[in-house]
Amino acid sequence: MISLKVQYSVAILKTVFHSLERSISRAVSNYLQTNYAVDVPVTTEQPKQSSFGEMALPVAFQLAKQLKKAPVMIAKELAAGLTGQIEGVAAFEVANGYLNVRFDRGWFAREILTGNGFETQEFSIRKTIVEHTNINPNKAAHIGHLRNAILGDTFVRMMKAMGTRVETQNYIDNTGVQVADVVAAFHFVEKKTAAEVAELAKQPRFDYLCWDLYSKVAQMEEVKGWRTETLHSIESGEGALSEMGHVVADAIVDCHLNTMLRLGIQYDVLPRESEILHLKFWANCFELLKEKQAIYFETEGKNKGCWVMPGSAFRENAGEEDSKVIVRSNGTVTYVGKDIAYQLWKFGLLGKDFYYRKLRTYPNGSVCYVSTATREGSERVQFGGGTSVYNVIDSRQSYLQDVVVAGLKALGYPNQADKSIHFSYEMVALTPRTCVELGIELSEEDKAKTTVEMSGRKGLGVKADDLIDQLIERAQVEVDSRHAEKSQESRTKVAEQIAVCSLRYFLLKFTRTSVIAFDLQEALSFEGETGPYVQYAAVRANNILRKVPNLPDFKSVLPEEVLRTVLETEDLWQLLLDVSRLESVLEAAVNSGEPAALARYAFQLAQGFSKFYHDYRVLDEADEARRNVLLWMTMHFAKQLEKTLNTLGIAVPEYM
């Protein structure tokens, strides 16, 4: 086993707060064992009010019945017995049956300052795979796709910050009906040749052109017949239509990668459906499914002539009618079948692999690979074979995801089935007001609704690049008016950073189960609970630090006593405490799979600092020791917030 120890320059995890939390619950647990002979898990929580102390333990409530004593009594005994026993704890207090803990503020701050509480995180060789974005390569990306990509990308960043090895995949369905429809539009409606389409595909906004074309053709009567003919050609991999399919899909994928890169989103590998077909991934999977009797050949009823998975495999109380067709009566495989094969590959269970070639090198030097069908020109790189897999897919597809998981289980891979996680989220819909602003005509039915669902078919949606452009434009106005002295290039860079931040924060602040009612005016706001508000706090902190040419050596000028004295001031202490909670918050956010928790934490930090900034004039502080504490806190805050923002995929601008 190879075990890599990686020391980050930015220290990670297991910080002072974290270890103090653990040592307290361990001490309480030990005390209970030796003095009461009881073994209960000791949980800690954050008190509702800061005046109760830094940490609260409701353990006395849990024990009241078992020990036949009033909670208050138990808590008092615990407090008496534990006082002076734990380093870093100044006092225990009892209130309403709670055992409240007061930290030794001087010790705590000093510990952070000297970095004593830090441990390095060990990298494991286990790999986690996250699949996200997965946009059909037939039109421009819209904000619904952005929610997927930003959610996935942020979750990847969060896991990486925790020391997890992550591989990011973006599945490309380049042989599906959606691509076929656009190809049909070019061929049958626009009467273009493959060469002509290739020429068109060179324009930067080819995805916009296809957006319009797709919504046009999708609503035409004749599309069904065209689609069948086109799909046939694409699947066989031969003929002009197939060639055109590749031209369209490749060009659109390129557009999507560009759009995502604007938001700092990158991929390690793009597995494509065309390779899944050509390399006959399905054939292997089909044999496995038959062998394990996960599917059976239906001889009667509506599914006669198909290979189906019984409904009982993925649904309770399922009847005959709940069976899911995996192979159609004409012998072709359905999406779910292909997805089971793909899922097997992700876990390294298929016994087949793609070939890969370099698709592009990102500005930061990392490379994005794409699957290819032949060995020639391919590179020796390894993808797939993960121990856990996250599929970032919206909640509307949960039924299909259940079928895929059932397939894994039926094939005898219950562990992998458990580790195949549908990272689901609710859709992004538009408010009727926003539709009106965008000049979208609404039906009477839609006007009455609170939200309107987007639809690529109808061309109804907010394009990602349009929104990013609007955000940049808006940020540019602000930046220009505030910093006329800076160069145009520099101002544009800042405006872009603000725009990206604004968008990412906007899509991250909602929890995954919440339907986002996208309101353009709200999304374009830079005030209140927005990304730019958070960035602004970081920039202000940096502004203070920048004005001190030589920062003192805090370790030597800030002994424990000085820190303790200054941190007697409640709001200063609270800010320090909040700032030191990052790792706990990050861990909880990863475990619950909720990036919103980290985003909101960033906002809370910014709020805390904004108040600090207003209440304390760091640079004007006359008392030198106090000034040093304030300076150190500013620096510590700036570092922690920047770390948080980077994990969210957000940069801190030089100025705002």
Least distance CB 214 / RNA (angstroms)? 14
Question: Does the footprint of RNA cover residue 596 (CB under 7 A)?
Answer: yes
Residue 256 interacting with RNA (CB under 7 A): no
Q: Is 607 in the site for RNA (CB under 7 A)?
A: yes
Query: What does the longest C-alpha to C-alpha distance in the chain come to?
Result: 89
Instruction: Quote the least distance from Cβ 511 to RNA, whole Å.
Output: 3
CA distances 139 to 201, 272, 458, Å, are: 12, 17, 12
In this structure, are residues 595 and 509 in contact, taking their beta carbons and an 8 Å threshold?
no
Which value, to the nearest 10 degrees, does the dihedral of the CA atoms of residues 354, 358, 362, 364 take?
Answer: 90
Single out the residue of 309, 479, 586, 650 in contact with RNA (rule: CB under 7 A): 479
Rule CB under 7 A: is residue 528 a binding residue for RNA? yes
Binding mask 79-108 for RNA (x = CB under 7 A): ----------------xxxx-x--------
Out of 516, 605, 629, 650, point to the residue binding RNA (CB under 7 A): 516
Contact between 350 and RNA per CB under 7 A: no
Q: Does 442 bind RNA (CB under 7 A)?
A: no
> Least distance (Å) from RNA to the CB of residue 606?
7
Tokens of 297: 């050949």
Neighbours of 92 (CB within 10 A): 24
Provide, rounded to whole angstroms, the least separation between the CB of residue 59 and RNA.
9
61 touching RNA, by CB under 7 A: yes
Site for RNA in 380-409 (CB under 7 A): 395-400
DSSP state at residue 333: B
CA–CA separation, 99 and 56 (whole Å): 6
Nearer to RNA, 166 or 452 (CB): 452
Site for RNA in 123-182 (CB under 7 A): 136, 173, 176-178
Cα separation of 133 and 145, whole Å? 6
Residue from 206, 536, 573, 637 binding RNA (CB under 7 A): 536
CA distances from 471 to 150, 476, 499, 536 (A): 16, 8, 5, 16
Q: Looking at 145-153, 183-191, 379-387, 524-532, which segment touches RNA (CB under 7 A)?
A: 524-532
Judged by CB under 7 A, does residue 543 bind RNA? yes
Q: Which is nearer to RNA, 33 or 521 (CB)?
A: 521
Name the token pair of 577: 């405490």
Contact 383, 356 (CB under 8 A): yes
**In the complex, what is the shortest distance from the CB of residue 364 to RNA, in angstroms, rounded to a whole number?**
25
- Check residue 19 for interaction with RNA (CB under 7 A): no
Q: Among residues 11, 23, 36, 58, which is the contact residue for RNA, using CB under 7 A?
A: 58
Of 190, 196, 353, 426, the one binding RNA by CB under 7 A: 426
Distance between alpha carbon 517 and the CA centroid of its chain, in Å?
19
Among 417, 524, 579, 618, binds RNA (CB under 7 A): 618
- Nearer residue to RNA within complex by CB, 266 or 634: 634
304 binds RNA (CB under 7 A): yes
Nearer to RNA, 347 or 613 (CB): 613
Our finding on whether 437 is near RNA (CB under 7 A) is no
CA distance 429 to 143: 9
Q: Does 554 bind RNA (CB under 7 A)?
A: no
Q: Give, in order, the Cα–Cα distances in Å from 128 to each of 135, 213, 386, 601.
A: 21, 38, 5, 25
Coarse DSSP helix, strand, coil percentages of the chain, rounded to the nearest 5 percent: 55, 10, 35
Cα distance between residue 206 and residue 139, in whole Å? 8
Residue 600 interacts with RNA (CB under 7 A): yes or no: yes
Comparing CB distances to RNA, the nearer of 103 and 616 is: 616
Residue in 511, 569, 574, 646 binding RNA, rule: CB under 7 A: 511
Q: Find tokens 């949606």 and name the residue.
A: 461
**Which range touches RNA (CB under 7 A), out of 29-37, 121-129, 283-291, 447-455?**
447-455
Site for RNA in 268-287 (CB under 7 A): 273
CA 333 to chain centre: 31
CA dist., res. 440 & res. 631, Å (int): 52
Residues 482-501 that bind RNA (CB under 7 A): 482-483, 494, 498
The answer for 621, left when phi > 0, alpha when psi is -120 to 50, beta otherwise, is beta
Q: Does 48 bind RNA (CB under 7 A)?
A: yes
Residues in contact with RNA, total (CB under 7 A)? Answer: 103
Task: Please pick, from the candidates 515, 557, 625, 635, the single residue that binds RNA as defined by CB under 7 A.
Answer: 515
Q: How far is the CB of 358 from RNA (least distance, A)?
A: 25
45 binds RNA (CB under 7 A): yes
Q: Is 578 in the site for RNA (CB under 7 A)?
A: no
Cα–Cα distance list, 576 to 43, 116, 377, 571, 605 (Å): 23, 16, 55, 9, 10
128 three-class SS: strand
Q: What DSSP letter does each residue of 477-527 carry, written as one string?
A: HHHHHH-TTS-HHHHHHHHHHHHHHHHHHHHHSS-TTSPEEE-HHHHT--S
